């Protein structure tokens, strides 16, 4: 971004990819962390007099509805929040590359900011390579003489038109958020201070296998929580009742437990519930005592203490994925307890991802108590797996 600003952006178009995929309750944004994280780059561009046209997505759209009809996917709450944070009007186009997008772009003045419609309403965004290429050409045509700035760290692992192909159509630069995120994550893939403790949660062990197998040889301790712990607990021989188990992953989990018996640490107790509901009957039980038909929906207090002990003398911590169904209050204590233990730990801590980051903010913990709160869930995991992230690799191509 420094290079672009040094060239000068006064009255020049900048097409910016941001990650504004924020959690919503109806139309209200429940965590605006990702929007705030984009402000440094946007403010610098606005300060330089650029005409900033932002591309962003919201949710996953299976069958893009005719534009404008699917209100759930509208970025209008985002445009409102961004305008409020920037203290200026942010207009929102009704389409991605159609007449409305052209009109909105043409009406931008120096220092102005506008948003295109949810880029995933345009099927070519996630289409074949040639479809994505064609869409990127049309996106570039919206901003004659313009530059592309990639600042949606949360989407840099996606080979999509507004992330990847567009960087080949315009002079491309990394934004401040992408620069900061990659710098911090490189500290973890390089030579992190030890002990290095990783906490993984979330629902599916199958989603985390690549990162598990990549990290296990390189970390000192790997704490497992979230629904994915039940597949490990089942592999250890526990009867986990009606808890979520991925039957086809049990053997793999058993092999990992045998190979890394000292590194992998599983919960010792859980909050079991009679059903998947905030009104369910609940009990704190040892992992071997989950009542028949009941399901574990959070880690228990003994586990929070155990994980806390491991975190107390860590030097580096990476955490991805909630410990339980934290959106429901009866199952939020495990995630909150682990968040507090990470905050208390003297370690350099990196929080990877949407849900864990939201959980920290929902728990009211001061963000300053963490080394870095990443805006990218999948992106930070893929970075730690050592994968090449298309949205970053494509920027390096040009430099
Ligand atoms: C995220 O929420 O992690 C990013 O915005 C990427 O979203 P996606 O997983 O739908 O591509």
Give mean pLDDT, residues 220-229.
97
Q: Are 144 and 44 in contact (CB under 8 A)?
A: no
Whether the pLDDT of residue 323 is over 60: the answer is yes
221-224 and 196-200 strand pairing? parallel
**Residue 26 — left, alpha, or beta (φ > 0 → left; ψ -120 to 50 → alpha)?**
left
Percent of the chain with pLDDT over 70: 97
H-type helices in the chain, by residue range?
2-7, 33-47, 76-86, 99-106, 129-141, 176-189, 205-215, 229-235, 250-259, 301-312, 333-344, 354-362, 378-384, 390-398
The model's pTM is 0.87
Whether the pLDDT of residue 205 is over 80: the answer is yes
Hey, what domains does the chain have and what are their CATH numbers? 2-178 (3.40.50.1260), 191-384 (3.40.50.1260)
Name the residue with the closest Cα to ligand 1, atom 10: 60
Does residue 60 have its Cβ closer than 6 Å to ligand 1?
Answer: yes
CA distance 93 to 103: 8
Is 386 annotated as contributing to ligand binding?
no
What pLDDT is recorded for position 360?
86
Structure tokens at 234: 């089942």
Is 320 annotated as contributing to ligand binding?
no
Give mean pLDDT, residues 378-393.
92
What pLDDT is recorded for position 62?
67
What pLDDT is recorded for position 212?
92
Name the residue with the closest Cα to ligand 1, atom 9: 378
Give mean pLDDT, residues 122-131.
95
160 CA: nearest ligand 1 atom = 11
Name the residue with the closest Cα to ligand 1, atom 1: 154
Instruction: Cite the active site residues.
Output: 34, 204, 354, 378
Q: Which own/partner pairs from 229-234 qualify as long-range (CB within 8 Å, at least 24 positions apart)? A: 229/201, 229/266, 229/267, 229/296, 229/299, 230/296, 231/205, 232/205, 232/256, 232/257, 232/264, 232/266, 233/266, 233/267, 233/287
Does residue 225 have its Cβ closer than 6 Å to ligand 1?
Answer: no
What pLDDT is recorded for position 341?
95
Whether the pLDDT of residue 286 is over 90: the answer is yes
Whether the pLDDT of residue 326 is over 60: the answer is yes
* 155 CA to centre of ligand 1 in angstroms: 6
334-361 per-position pLDDT tens digit: 999 999 999 999 999 999 877 888 888 8
Percent of the chain with pLDDT over 90: 82
Ligand 1 pocket test, pick from 155, 320, 376, 379 with the greatest ligand atom count within 8 Å of Cβ, gives 155
* 141 CA to centre of ligand 1 in angstroms: 26
Distances (CA, A) of 209 to 80, 350, 393: 39, 20, 24
Whether the pLDDT of residue 26 is over 60: the answer is yes
- Write down how long the chain is: 399
353 CA: nearest ligand 1 atom = 3
Give mean pLDDT, residues 70-76.
73
CA distance 125 to 112: 25
Whether the pLDDT of residue 246 is over 80: the answer is yes
Is 20 annotated as contributing to ligand binding?
yes
Q: Are 321 and 296 in contact (CB under 8 A)?
A: no
For 50-102, give the secondary structure using H, E and C: CEEEEECCCCCCCCCCCCCCCHHHCCHHHHHHHHHHHCCCEEECCCCCCHHHH
What pLDDT is recorded for position 239?
94
85-100 per-position pLDDT tens digit: 999 999 999 999 999 9
Specify the higher pLDDT residue, 25 or 283: 283
CA distance 286 to 119: 47
How many other CB atoms are found less than 10 A from the CB of residue 42?
A: 26
What pLDDT is recorded for position 231?
97
* 323 CA to centre of ligand 1 in angstroms: 20
* 126 CA to centre of ligand 1 in angstroms: 12
Whether the pLDDT of residue 72 is over 60: the answer is no
What pLDDT is recorded for position 67?
47
Is 34 annotated as contributing to ligand binding?
yes
* 157 CA to centre of ligand 1 in angstroms: 9
What pLDDT is recorded for position 343?
94
CA distance 364 to 82: 22
Does residue 71 have its Cβ closer than 6 Å to ligand 1?
Answer: no
Is 230 annotated as contributing to ligand binding?
no
What pLDDT is recorded for position 254?
97
What pLDDT is recorded for position 98?
94
């Amino acid at each position: 971004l420094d290079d672009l600003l040094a060239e000068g952006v006064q009255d020049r178009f900048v097409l910016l990819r941001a990650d504004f995929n924020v959690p919503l309750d109806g139309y209200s944004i429940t965590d605006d962390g990702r929007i705030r994280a984009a402000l440094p780059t946007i403010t610098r561009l606005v300060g330089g007099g650029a005409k900033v046209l932002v591309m962003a997505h919201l949710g996953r759209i299976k069958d893009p509805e005719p534009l404008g009809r699917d209100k759930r996917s509208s970025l209008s709450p985002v445009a409102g929040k961004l305008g409020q944070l920037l203290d200026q009007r942010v207009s929102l186009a009704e389409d991605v590359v159609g007449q409305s997008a052209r009109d909105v772009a043409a009406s931008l003045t120096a220092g102005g900011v506008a948003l295109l419609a949810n880029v995933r309403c345009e099927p070519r965004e996630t289409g074949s390579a040639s479809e994505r290429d064609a869409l990127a050409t049309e996106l570039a045509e919206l901003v004659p003489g313009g530059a592309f700035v990639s600042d949606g760290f949360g989407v840099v692992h996606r080979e999509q038109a507004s992330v990847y192909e567009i960087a080949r159509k315009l002079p491309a630069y990394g934004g401040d958020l992408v620069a900061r995120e990659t710098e911090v994550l490189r500290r973890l893939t390089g030579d992190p201070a030890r002990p290095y403790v990783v906490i993984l949660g979330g629902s599916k062990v199958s989603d985390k296998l690549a990162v598990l197998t990549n990290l296990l040889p390189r970390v000192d301790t790997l704490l497992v929580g979230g629904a994915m712990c039940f597949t490990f607990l089942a592999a250890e021989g526990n009867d986990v009742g009606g808890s979520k188990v991925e039957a086809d992953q049990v053997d793999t989990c058993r092999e990992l437990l045998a190979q890394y018996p000292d590194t992998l640490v599983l919960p010792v107790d859980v909050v079991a519930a009679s059903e998947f509901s905030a009104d369910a009957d609940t009990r704190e039980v040892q992992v071997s005592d989950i009542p028949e038909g009941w399901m574990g929906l959070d880690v228990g207090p003994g586990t929070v203490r155990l994980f806390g002990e491991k975190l107390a003398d860590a030097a580096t911590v990476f955490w991805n994925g909630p410990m339980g169904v934290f959106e429901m209050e009866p199952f939020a204590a495990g995630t909150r307890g682990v968040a507090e233990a990470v905050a208390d730990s003297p370690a350099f801590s990196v929080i990877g991802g949407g849900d864990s980051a939201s959980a920290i903010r929902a728990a009211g913990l001061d963000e300053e108590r963490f080394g870095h709160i990443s805006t990218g869930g999948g992106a930070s995991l893929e970075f730690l797996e050592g994968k090449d992230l298309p949205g970053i690799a494509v920027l390096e191509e040009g430099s």
